[in-house]
Amino acid sequence: MAKQKKSELKTIKIFDTTLRDGEQSPGASMNIEEKLRIAKHLQKLNVDVIEAGFPIASEGDFEAVKKVAQTIKGPEIAGLCRSGFKDIDRGWEALQYAGEKGRIHTFIATSDIHMKYKLKMTPSQVLDAAVKAVKRAKSYTPNVEFSCEDAVRTDLKFLGEVVGAVIDAGATTVNIPDTVGYTIPFEYFNIITYLKENVANIDNAVISVHCHNDLGLSVANSIAAVQAGAGQVECTINGIGERAGNCSLEEFVMTLKTRGDILPFKTNVVTEQLTPASRLLTTVTGIVVQPNKAIVGANAFAHEAGIHQHGVLMEKSTYEIMTPESVGLKTNVLVLGKHSGRHAFKKRLEELGYELSDEMLNKAFERFKALADLKKEVYDEDLDAIVTDEELLRAE
Ligand code: KIV
Ligand code: ZN
């Protein structure tokens, strides 16, 4: 399919919440220096908004948000606050150092189940608290985001009422989170469409989406939401976050970049920084990425099967839908194992400096196959041993 012109693509804002929702991932808590290190990398990635933490949650988180707000230039800096005034006042105390780039992100749950069991509040009390929270935040900064927690399980009519009321109160971004990772793309598309069609002042705010990954659908749901008109996507590096995590930043961004033929959207992210960002997060948190993780997993650009290896040696696009360079890798990897073919074997030997006659190559390849049946992966040292084996040399 023909690619759309870059100028025709709508820019989707990337709101990175690695330092807030990502940090809520078990074992991912970060100190001030660690948060600052990640924030500096998010600046290099050129995300639009960095949610640096939850200032009232602890002294340490307050200081971390303050430090990020003081240091980082470029992206907006957000801090999460419940809808109480104490939270919002404390939030701005930390965020004020970002000046006009400071964003107060306040929220309250709107689903029946959360209002009844968690908040013990009626819908009209929740509506009132939401409006008051936005007005309080607005007294500090024009840049206010409001989230309807558990929006996906909220009665649609009530959701529309809350969204309309907080926009009237001054919210410039309204977030419609799938807090429990429950929705599916078709349903989420319809929720965003309903808001676009039924909330009169909806165009006065950016619609944001925030998807959790409990059913493994967070990226697909975020894509469906932007197709329905959302303008901001909340996500994290490596998809870390509460429970099964959040929408993975690298997967969402590379989907838009790779499928520009069918998705008329782009982001401001410098995609060559994706792999370095992923690795830095692993270094800082100790949380490793599964090898088959899309985009940043160790196997994302590795080929083992002989047919695939032959294909990419002829033309990379046979089995690669994006280039390794575009996500910050130097090259793809041809892994030598029992599924590998003669082409990859010969190429690797040449890279190691071995030029073998056809007869010797055949013999070496036979030995390689026998060894590969015994091992998960054949390494360069194994190849050295095969081609320098005296018996094989005698056969020459
Ligand atoms: O998942 C969620 O609903 C959240 C909100 C606080 C935005 O993290
Ligand atoms: Zn969340």
Which bound ligand lies closest to the C-alpha atom of 107?
1
Residue to substitute in 111, 175, 233 for testing ligand 1 pocket (most ligand atoms within 8 angstroms of CB): 175
CA nearest neighbour of 207 among 153, 159, 142: 159
Q: Above 80 in pLDDT, residue 392?
A: no
Q: Rounded mean pLDDT of 133-142?
A: 98
pLDDT class of 8 with cuts at 50, 70, 90: confident
CB neighbours of residue 163 within 10 Å:
27
38 has pLDDT over 80: yes
Q: What is the mean pLDDT of residues 342-351?
A: 95
Q: How far is the CA of 5 from the centre of ligand 1 (A)?
A: 34
Separation of alpha carbons 107 and 151, rounded Å: 11
The answer to whether 38 touches 2, Cβ cutoff 8 Å, is no
Question: In this structure, which residue's CA is closest to atom 7 in ligand 1?
Answer: 147
* Per-residue pLDDT, 380: 94
3-class SS string, 331-384? CCEECCCCCCCHHHHHHHHHHCCCCCCHHHHHHHHHHHHHHHCCCCCCCHHHHH
Per-residue pLDDT, 385: 94
Cα–Cα distance, 317 to 312 (Å, whole number): 7
Res 391 pLDDT > 80: no
Position 3 scores a pLDDT of 59
Averaged confidence pLDDT in the chain: 96
| Distance from C-alpha of 47 to C-alpha of 270, rounded to nearest angstrom | 8
| DSSP-derived secondary structure letter, 248 | B
Q: What are phi and psi of 205, to 5 degrees?
A: -140, 160
The whole-number average pLDDT for the span 118-136 is 98
Q: How far is the CA of 176 from the centre of ligand 1 (A)?
A: 9
Question: Who surrounds ion ligand 2 at CB < 5 A?
Answer: 21
Question: What average pLDDT does this structure show over 134-154?
Answer: 98
Assess whether pLDDT exceeds 90 at residue 88.
Answer: yes
- Is the predicted pLDDT of residue 1 greater than 90, yes or no? no
Question: Which residue puts its alpha carbon closest to atom 3 of ligand 1?
Answer: 179
What pLDDT band is residue 396 in, cutting at 50, 70 and 90? low
Q: Cα(163)–Cα(148) distance, rounded to whole angstroms?
A: 8
Q: Look at residue 231 and tell me whether its pLDDT is greater than 70.
A: yes
* Average pLDDT of span 104-111: 98
Lookup: tokens for 331? 């090259």
CB 326 within 8 A of CB 257: yes
pLDDT given at position 5: 72
Q: Which ligand 1 atom sits nearest the alpha carbon of residue 246?
A: 1
Please give the average per-residue pLDDT across 205-220, as a whole number: 98
Going by DSSP bridges, is the β-strand pair 13-16/49-53 parallel, antiparallel, or unpaired? parallel
Ligand 1: centre distance to CA 179 (Å): 6
List, in sequence order, every residue forming a beta bridge with 174; answer none if it has no partner. 146, 207
ipTM > 0.85, yes or no: yes
The stretch 45-59 carries a mean pLDDT of 98
Tell me: pLDDT of 26 over 60: yes
Which ligand neighbours the alpha carbon of 151 most closely?
A: 1
Say yes or no to pLDDT of 368 above 70: yes
CA distance 385 to 364: 10
HEC per residue, 283-306: HHHCCCCCCCCCCCCCCCCEECCH
Q: Give the distance from CA 393 to its chain's centroid.
A: 52
Compute the distance from residue 177 Cα to the ligand 1 centre, in Å: 6
Banded model confidence at residue 89, pLDDT cuts 50, 70, 90: very high
Average pLDDT (138-142) is: 98
Do 179 and 150 meet the contact criterion of CB atoms below 8 Å apart? yes
Structure confidence at residue 374 (pLDDT): 95
Give me the residue label for tokens 């590096």: 237
Tell me the per-residue pLDDT of 305-343, one tens digit each, with 9 for 90 and over.
999 999 999 999 999 999 999 999 999 999 999 999 999
Residues with CB under 6 A from ligand 1: 21, 80, 107, 147, 149, 175, 177, 179, 210, 212
Local structure of 335: helix, strand or coil: coil
Ligand 2 center to residue 80 CA distance, Å? 11
* Interacting residues of 64 by C-beta distance below 8 A, sequence separation 6+: 19, 30, 31, 32, 35, 36, 52, 53
| pLDDT attached to residue 389 | 85
* Residue 313: its H or E element: helix 306-314
- Pocket residue to mutate for ligand 1, from 16, 18, 19, 21, most atoms within 8 A of Cβ: 21
Ligand 1, atom 2, residue with closest C-alpha:
179
Residue 7 has pLDDT above 80, yes or no: no
